[in-house]
Amino acid sequence: MKCAKCNKEFDELQESHNVPCYMFDEPTRRLRKQRADKYGRKMLCKKCHDIYEKILFAYVFRSLDLNQRMRLRGVAERFSKKYFEGEVYGDSKTT
């Protein structure tokens, strides 16, 4: 299969929604995915998918006002502390 961005052949591609599921506030993942499907999706290689996610997040972050950015930074800080202490997803510390 070909990546929709770089047009290279890959055995395995990732499904990438044009508007990611996590941007919707539906109560379940299934409903968020259904809503995201309405905006379309592409098949991307891992590298292109990761780049798309990073650029999209940066673009959305820049569109926020200062108070929203500060609140989002606080959320990210709290998440990173929990993540690296192994409290997220019941995950243990990895070294």
Predicted confidence (pLDDT) per residue in 4-59, tens digit: 999 999 988 888 999 999 889 999 989 999 999 999 999 999 999 999 999 999 99
pTM of the model: 0.71
| Residue for token pair 């990073």 | 54
Looking at residue 52, its pLDDT comes to 94
Tokens 């968020």 identify what position? Answer: 32
Backbone angles phi, psi at 29, to 5 degrees: -60, -40
Task: Report the candidate in 42, 3, 38, 43 with the shortest Cα–Cα distance to residue 23.
Answer: 38
Name the 3-class secondary structure at 2: strand
Domain boundaries, the chain: 14-88
